[in-house]
Amino acid sequence: MNSVLERYVSFKHNLLQFFHHFDRLIDERRYQELKADLRTCHSTPVASFPVEILKHAASVYTHEVFELFQDELRKAYDSQIELCGEIGEMSEYKITPFQEALSAHSHV
């Protein structure tokens, strides 16, 4: 967000100029949001693997947010999950991202 803000405001601006430029920033962000909403209304993102939660996410998220969600879900599926222990109804797990687990095994 800072890099976006830097395009519109400067320490050299007086207060009136700051608000003028900040208004332009807000208008631009709203316009980009409207474009994303319009794109979502007229098309549905394609899930890279058939999972019910992705089908639902594709129907409610914008394309950009869906892609972020799908990437995080893929990383979760690619993770190694190991049960460390249980105490009553609580369970403790160790989660290792796939790439880290792969590199740990290749160094053994």
Query: What is the per-residue pLDDT for 86?
Result: 94
Q: At what angle are helices 52-60 and 63-77 packed, to 10 degrees? A: 160
Query: What is the per-residue pLDDT for 1?
Result: 60
Query: What is the per-residue pLDDT for 104?
Result: 62
Low-confidence residues in the chain, pLDDT < 70: 1-2, 4-5, 8, 100-108
Backbone phi, then psi, for 92, in 5-degree steps?
Answer: -115, 130
Alpha-carbon distance of 39 to 65, in angstroms, equals 12
**Contact partners, residue 74, CB within 8 Å, separation at least 6:** 48, 49
The pTM of the full predicted model, rounded to 2 decimals, is 0.51
Query: What is the per-residue pLDDT for 30?
Result: 92
Alpha-carbon distance of 25 to 8, in angstroms, equals 6
